[in-house]
Amino acid sequence: MCGIVGYIGHKEALPILLKGLRRLEYRGYDSAGVAIAHNGTFKSVRAVGKIDNLAAKLQNENIQGTFGIAHTRWATHGGVTEENAHPHTDCSGDIIVVHNGIVENYRELKDKFLKGHTLRSQTDTEILAHLIETQYSAFAEASADKQGALRAAVQSALSYVRGTYGLVVMHAKHPRTLIAARLGSPLVVGVGDKEYFIASDTSPMLAHTQQVIFLDDEEMVEITDTGVQIFNLQDKKIDKHTEHIDWSEAEAEKGGFANFMLKEIFDQPTVIKDALRGRLVEDEGTAHLGGLNMTDVDMRSINRVILIACGTASYAAMVGKYAFERLAGIPTEVEVASEFRYSDPILDKNTLVFGISQSGETADTIAALREAKRKGAFVRGVVNVIGSTIARETDGGTYIHAGPELAVASTKAYTNMIAVLVMYALQFGRLRRVTVATGERLVKAFREISVKMEQSLKIESEVKKIVEKYKQYKNFLFLGRGVNFPVALEGSLKLKEITYIHSEAYPGGEMKHGPIALLSPDFPVVAILTKNQLYDKMRSNIEEIRARKAPVILIATEGDEQAKELADDVIYVPPTMELLEPLVNTIPLQLFAYHMAVALGKDVDRPRNLAKSVTVE
């Protein structure tokens, strides 16, 4: 939540910061702001709404300078107003702050330290600017190291803070110095050619450098024209390596698509190959995911798997559960991270916990994994963003290699998560009960999956026609069984988050226990009826819907002519092995939600109230 970007170098800062903000807009888009240092003062401009509003406002300003910070906000404390937009300043306007996170004790800090200060917003962040102000004068007077005074003031201020922060500070008396600190909200430093960047993730810096340093919790950085120095909060210097990031800027572009979500839906057949590459072992009928860091003995000792995730990632985890139980015979649970962390979970050294997360920064998932680690379980990550907190805090795991996912609604990360979890299940299964022949069949199905996903995308024009027919409906029910129940959940979530249409998802067999009461000719049902072991059961459920005269849209397997008799509309997908069905069956549902949102004139990439990376509890 909230995106931060800062620049110090030899180029004009404003275009770099604005472009960086656009990259980070997925993190929040309630308001945005920028501050550029020029001739010993700061020029700051803020605007409510998306980055476009800020850019329009900036057109009337003449702001020049090669040093500045910017922020895109997802409101936590204080409404969506210009006063609450970042950057925030102290009383004098000398100290400028942008912040991602929550200062939990901000009222306490205000009462204790800020008597007589003039506060101009309702935010917790502004408290930080004033708190640094209270500390700065003492350090500036006492310290012979004038340069170090700002760093010392920030360290001292942060020692009083309870909560989370990714914080960047500038001071008019330290004209070319950026101080940043991290606790619980990500920050990355980009090291370019005589220029430096600081941001919430690597995307704003990819056009300029792929050399980065990931800050860890309780670390801070001082960036000047001459370089980067990292300290802990007690001012002890820390040596950190610069890492090379493979993601290119081109990967983070729309590539001719109308928006990121459509591009990312169409990326899926390509990026699934990246998830599989080098991980399938044909002649042994297995998969090998190198980063697991577990011996075969460790793997055989596991008698319980827990998959922890939120939202879409938790639906990918549900497919993972089927795979682990079916292939490896290991009892597997899916836990929503926000519940797990407070559930006093019972874990031991025979439990393997996977944290599944696109961003690797979801606060609830991070906290749940820390709890699991504390209780002695094996804790591993299934993550997309390289160098993210979950990737660094777990003792091993796997990158899903979906590439940058910038639309708020997750698509390609979901399918790649499923691919990785099924491969893990196969790897464990082959050490237990899966025969080489079954393993080989699954490996073969994996090899064909990219082409099948391409075929699934070819139905886009069909989906558009169906959307035209159904776009006036206000409610939808999604149904699936077995491995397609999580697909129904995901289809329903996609629809509600980007179109704001009410939808629900149920297992097909559960409908008659309540939800069937909702059905009427005004309540269409989207059902997944592909040719698998539950086909006949699901078919009966659809007959029950027909009897209630609800319109039916079916996702069916190519060649299934009977599906047409059951439904008002049918979308055909290619057949594959049951465990891989979600990879092809989800695509029409993603397209359905996407085209519905376009037809209704919604902002597909930036749906209201949401942010991509949920870094607050």
The 3-state DSSP class for residue 249 equals coil
Decide: 225 and 8 in contact? Cβ < 8 Å. Answer: yes
Beta bridge partners of 367: none
Q: Which of residues 333-352 bind ligand F6R (CB under 6 A)?
A: none
> Rounded distance, CA 182 to CA 179, Å?
11
> Rounded distance, CA 77 to CA 129, Å?
15
Q: Which of 25, 94, 201, 497 binds ligand F6R (CB under 6 A)?
A: 497
Element (H, E) at 566: helix 562-566
360 to each of 185, 366, 612, how far by Cα in Å? 11, 8, 11
Tokens of 167: 């914080």
- Name the residue number minimizing CB distance to ligand F6R: 311
Tokens of 26: 């997925």
**Alpha-carbon 530 to chain mean position:** 30
Residue 185 in the binding site for ligand F6R (CB under 6 A): no
Active site residue 263: no
In the complex, the smallest distance separating the C-beta of residue 503 from ligand F6R, rounded to whole angstroms, is: 13
Q: Which is nearer to ligand F6R, 210 or 362 (CB)?
A: 362
In the complex, the smallest distance separating the C-beta of residue 70 from ligand F6R, rounded to whole angstroms, is: 23
Q: Which is nearer to ligand F6R, 222 or 490 (CB)?
A: 490
Instruction: Read off the DSSP letter of residue 501.
Output: -
Q: Which of 362, 456, 585, 615 binds ligand F6R (CB under 6 A)?
A: 362
> Rounded distance, CA 416 to CA 391, Å?
16
Sole window of 122-130, 266-274, 309-317, 557-565 interacting with ligand F6R (rule: CB under 6 A): 309-317
> Rounded distance, CA 315 to CA 130, Å?
43
Residue 358 in the binding site for ligand F6R (CB under 6 A): yes
Decide: 237 and 384 in contact? Cβ < 8 Å. Answer: no
Active site residue 2: yes
Binding-residue pattern over the window 384 to 413 for ligand F6R, x denoting contact by CB under 6 A: -------------------------xx---
Decide: 271 and 251 in contact? Cβ < 8 Å. Answer: no
In the complex, the smallest distance separating the C-beta of residue 164 from ligand F6R, rounded to whole angstroms, is: 16
Helix spans in 98-142 (H)? 106-113, 124-142
Catalytic residue among 2, 50, 110, 452: 2
Residue 366 in the binding site for ligand F6R (CB under 6 A): no
In the complex, the smallest distance separating the C-beta of residue 309 from ligand F6R, rounded to whole angstroms, is: 6
Residue 313 in the binding site for ligand F6R (CB under 6 A): yes
Q: Which of 177, 286, 359, 585 binds ligand F6R (CB under 6 A)?
A: 359
Sole window of 66-74, 127-135, 310-318, 394-402 interacting with ligand F6R (rule: CB under 6 A): 310-318
Residue 357 in the binding site for ligand F6R (CB under 6 A): yes
Sole window of 16-24, 27-35, 306-314, 546-554 interacting with ligand F6R (rule: CB under 6 A): 306-314
Catalytic residue among 50, 321, 412, 612: 612
The size of the interface with ligand F6R (CB under 6 A), counted in residues, is 15
Per-position b or e across 258-276, b if 16+ CB within 10 A of its CB? ebbbbbbbbbbbebbbbbb
Q: Which of 114, 310, 552, 584 binds ligand F6R (CB under 6 A)?
A: 310
> Rounded distance, CA 75 to CA 129, Å?
18
Residue 200 in the binding site for ligand F6R (CB under 6 A): no
Residue 311 in the binding site for ligand F6R (CB under 6 A): yes
| φ/ψ bin of 25: left (φ > 0), alpha (ψ from -120 to 50), beta (otherwise) | alpha
Question: What are the residue numbers of the active site?
Answer: 2, 612
Binding site for ligand F6R (CB under 6 A): 310-313, 357-359, 362, 365, 409-410, 493, 497, 613-614
